[in-house]
Chains A and B, each alone.
Chain A
């Protein structure tokens, strides 16, 4: 359902930014080819802003596109969770703050949606929303609906998994990884996976090679999850992109829980926070 109020405000802001040349491009959402579900849209001229929409299918984390636009003034529509990834990118110095104009949206939640199919219920991440208001923005569209500090994360599915025996867990994950076709949609859609060359494709040294098989797939997913520890902001886009429904967010939630417990760290709440995996404190030796 189109949120006409938010949509209009986004269009107005986009027009203003493009007309004043404050931004060369506005990355937002437009209605997709099934006439119902939104998709990312790159708008370069004020004439194009009428394409922009905002509704409960705007699932994509548009911060993912920022790294490739390095150096070019870009405005981007960011939901509260997506805005956390902008903070992570700033913290990791992948984007320059003055080149990004964040159109933050206080969002009411996104529904599960598959192209051409009726919309489903609220996405899991939204049911466990940690705060509807973006932690970083240049303009805020919509009314902040939740107070600070952000709500705690929901680790109930991690707990369910941990209640199983190690054998059961191993069997579960082996079955999931056996199904993986290594299309890398999970990685490519991830804001945090911006490496020029992913370890999985490196030839020298070769970590996994080109073989698509359970052990290699497992290595890919586990290493990727580790690389996202303390960085993943739980947008769950990896899991949404997976064509064979591997519950990838479960791995990320586990590492999120660990980072929270060990370092008290929640990723993306501020651009100045220290990244636990990139910071060393002498007392950690203990």
Chain B
């Protein structure tokens, strides 16, 4: 459970309370050997405060540092926000399963993200964009409480312009300058009416959003097996030992965090 020492290369706010940290593992051999995939996560340490499980927002096939999107909610995330560029932090992982993106080849992909829930979806989007010839149409629905809370805004233009890609932004509450959609994410899903035929939906966001998105997708004829999500659970080890992240008999750290909703339906416990 000892992390690699790493250096904070860059830190930038992408919303009012979310910072993307670009992190490079110090030891070149470990850096080279560190292979991860979209959907996996790592523990990021702010030494002196603790460590948290955080999903990768970078994509492995693009060269560059590891990136994590950290929302300031607890003691560890607050400490990570306060680190200066050049500071030492810790990284261990990668842990968990991943989105089985190669299984989705030839399919249309619908991405539905709410708030910081866009974090695990961003590497999926960037992977799909870089391999767009292998996939069908890509639809991205990105919702947030306010225009300032829309994560990864700097990439919206690139995403919107990509071939066979549609980006739909929505906010719960607009402001003076917001000219876009003001609607809840499930309403947008029902308005766009994506076809379930040959389509996979990947969604992540607050539990309440997920619940209503699921209802909307089912109305449109999506089966549970076509809907994929990634679960968040408190965890301390990432390797099936601390016995904290289990939802029923499934350990989010090892059996997940990526699950389809037909898998989730079999869980004994709610999440």
Contact = CB atoms under 8 A, between A and B. Distances in A.
A204 interface: yes
Contacts of B74: 203
A206 B74 CA distance: 13
Binding site secondary structure of chain A: loop
Q: Interface range on chain A: under 10, 10 to 19, 20 to 34, or 35 or more?
A: under 10
Nearest to B50: A203
A283 B72 CA distance: 47
A247 B78 CA distance: 40
A203 B52 CA distance: 14
Contacts of A203: 74-75
Interface in B67-82: 74-75, 78
A206 B75 CA distance: 10
A123 to B, nearest CB: 37
Interface string A197-235: 000000110100000000000000000000000000000
Contacts of B78: 204
A206 B50 CA distance: 12
Nearest to B78: A204
Interface in B49-89: 74-75, 78
Main secondary structure on B side of the interface with A:
helix
A157 to B, nearest CB: 41
A204 B78 CA distance: 11
Nearest to B76: A203
A252 B74 CA distance: 35
A50 to B, nearest CB: 34
Nearest to A210: B50
A206 B76 CA distance: 12
Contacts of B75: 203-204, 206
Interface string A171-209: 000000000000000000000000000000001101000
Nearest to A205: B75
A224 to B, nearest CB: 23
A204 B75 CA distance: 7
A85 B206 CA distance: 42
Contacts of A204: 75, 78
Nearest to A202: B75
A203 B77 CA distance: 13
A217 to B, nearest CB: 21
Interface in A102-149: none
A203 B74 CA distance: 9
A133 to B, nearest CB: 48
A206 B78 CA distance: 14
A203 B75 CA distance: 7
A204 B49 CA distance: 10
Contacts of A206: 75
Nearest to A204: B75
A204 B77 CA distance: 12
A123 B74 CA distance: 45
A275 B108 CA distance: 68
Interface in B93-126: none
A98 to B, nearest CB: 35
A203 to B, nearest CB: 5
Nearest to A203: B75
A204 B74 CA distance: 9
A202 to B, nearest CB: 10
Interface string B207-248: 000000000000000000000000000000000000000000
Nearest to B74: A203
A220 to B, nearest CB: 20
A203 B234 CA distance: 15
Interface string A39-53: 000000000000000
A206 to B, nearest CB: 8
B148 to A, nearest CB: 25
A206 B48 CA distance: 12
B256 to A, nearest CB: 25
Interface string B237-271: 00000000000000000000000000000000000
A214 B75 CA distance: 25
A266 B74 CA distance: 41
Interface of A: 203-204, 206
The 4 closest A-B pairs by CB, nearest first: A203-B75, A204-B75, A203-B74, A206-B75
5 contacts: A203-B74, A203-B75, A204-B75, A204-B78, A206-B75
